[in-house]
Amino acid sequence: MKLQQFNEYCYAFTGAVNIGYCQKDGKGLLIDAGLDESAAKKVLRLLKLQELPLDYCIVTHAHTDHFGGAAYLKKETGIPLYSPPMESAIIENPLLEPIYLFNGANPINELRNKFLEGPPVKVDFHIETGENEIGPFVIEALDMPGHSYAQKGLLIEDILYAADGYFGTEALEKHVIPFIIDADQTLSTLEKLLHIKCKGAIPGHGRYEEDFSETIRQNQKVHEERIHALFQLIENKEDGESLESLTKEFLTLHTIDAKNLGQWLLFRTSVTAYLTHLERIGAIRFYIRDNEPRVSVS
Ligand SMILES: [Zn+2]
């Protein structure tokens, strides 16, 4: 983890998951809290070392790699936590993530790990769309749903903290099928990102870039290709296909070898989101046959 500075006020602790940081008039603001206690500890240690203040923390969305360190951070420093309303519901009740991944049933223990369920923490204030004033900071919160339900990107002092609104090139290649909960929202968030005027942007996973348009276009291309490939699989089945067989075929096509149930469930969510897009545009239909959920071209 390294502290990288972008302008007079804006920085980020960069690593596998980036944590944003801004300081102004003797006050410090953290953007996301890292995966766990150890990540939060590193942030606190680096801030102390550089004699930088910490007064507030905004969590952009309720994925554990972004909020898992928040409980420790709050316990150690007592700083208030901010997050968008619907994301706050999950941050305060983190069992909801393994629950939604596990079809709404109480999850098996295997799914109750730190990558899918962070420690619960109380959110003190909601971040609303548009301008938010927190201490000396004027924060423009931009709706960036698609990767999660109510994720917000934050424009602060001309720097865009884009959360997981897009992924850096390497993260995109690593994930192959990025996690999304809505393909249409993901694509419109990417389109919106192309038109944001700022000095530079940093995603949750990836590098800071002044011109990030090419990276956004790569993200758009990946989702468009995934949707197309999924539709082709369905198109080639005269008799439709069960959701599970289709998911298996789609993962195999992208040479993915899911290592555990948690990983498979995350991929299944993205596949479901792509299928929902295809259903919305009238290209496919969902139906039940022999007690099996299936899709076919419509
Ligand atoms: Zn995320």
The one-digit pLDDT tens for each residue of the chain (298 residues) are 999 999 999 999 999 999 999 999 999 999 999 999 999 999 999 999 999 999 999 999 999 999 999 999 999 999 999 999 999 999 999 999 999 999 999 999 999 999 999 999 999 999 999 999 999 999 999 999 999 999 999 999 999 999 999 999 999 999 999 999 999 999 999 999 999 999 999 999 999 999 999 999 999 999 999 999 999 999 999 999 999 999 999 999 999 999 999 999 999 999 999 999 999 999 999 999 999 999 999 9
pLDDT value of residue 114: 95
In a domain, 154, yes or no: yes
In a domain, 189, yes or no: no
Structural domain count of the chain: 2
Same-domain pairing of 157 and 63? yes
Same-domain pairing of 120 and 267? no
Q: Give, in degrees to the nearest 5, the angle at Cα 35 between 29 and 39.
A: 65
- Going from the Cα of 102 to the center of ligand 1, the distance in angstroms, rounded, reads 18
- Going from the Cα of 138 to the center of ligand 1, the distance in angstroms, rounded, reads 24
Sheet containing strand 56-58, strands side by side: 2-5, 10-14, 19-24, 27-31, 56-58, 81-83, 125-126
Same-domain pairing of 25 and 126? yes
In a domain, 52, yes or no: yes
Distance CA 207, CA 210 (A): 10
Same-domain pairing of 142 and 272? no
- Going from the Cα of 179 to the center of ligand 1, the distance in angstroms, rounded, reads 8
In a domain, 211, yes or no: no
pLDDT value of residue 144: 98
Nearest to residue 41, comparing CAs of 61, 13, 22?
A: 13
- Going from the Cα of 298 to the center of ligand 1, the distance in angstroms, rounded, reads 33
Same-domain pairing of 154 and 231? no
- Going from the Cα of 147 to the center of ligand 1, the distance in angstroms, rounded, reads 6
What residues make up the domain containing 149?
Answer: 2-164
In a domain, 144, yes or no: yes
In a domain, 157, yes or no: yes
In a domain, 129, yes or no: yes
Same-domain pairing of 128 and 240? no
- Going from the Cα of 65 to the center of ligand 1, the distance in angstroms, rounded, reads 7
Same-domain pairing of 116 and 47? yes
pLDDT value of residue 207: 98
Residues, beta carbon < 5 Å, ion ligand 1: 63, 164
Structure tokens at 153: 């990107």
- Going from the Cα of 62 to the center of ligand 1, the distance in angstroms, rounded, reads 7
